[in-house]
Amino acid sequence: MSTTPHCPDCETEMETGFIPDNTFLGEFQTKWHPGDPESAGGTFFGMKVKNRTQTVKVDESQMRKVITYRCPACGLLRSYAE
């Protein structure tokens, strides 16, 4: 977003931030990908789906950073893919 949004509940200007994804390699910024997850075959790494682990195919060119805004007055969070 080019401008900082205002809270839809209390009209206070929101703070910019992000929600980190925690992995064994450290923390990363959450990213958005279109569509439903598609299995890339079962390996040790990946998503937990129906009691088994699967690696999910992603198209890096479709990935978008997720920016999360927080209202300092009421705590509301709103996330946007940029």
Other Cβ atoms closer than 10 A to 13: 13
Residue 11: per-residue pLDDT: 95
Question: Per the domain annotation, does 45 fall within a domain?
Answer: yes
Q: pTM of the full predicted structure?
A: 0.69
Q: Alpha carbon of 31 to those of 26, 46, 51: distances in Å?
A: 15, 15, 24
Residue 49: per-residue pLDDT: 44
Q: Which domain holds residue 60?
A: 15-81
Question: Per the domain annotation, does 2 fall within a domain?
Answer: no
CA–CA dist 31, 82 (Å, integer): 9
Render pLDDT for 21-77 as a digit per residue (tens, 0 to 9).
Answer: 887 888 888 888 787 766 555 545 555 444 445 567 778 888 899 999 999 999 999
Produce one character per residue of 15-42: b if its CB has 16 or more CB atoms within 10 Å, e if not: eeeeeeeeeeeeeeeeeeeeeeeeeeee
Residue 1: per-residue pLDDT: 64
- The structural domain count of the chain equals 1
Residue 2: per-residue pLDDT: 72
Question: Per the domain annotation, does 27 fall within a domain?
Answer: yes
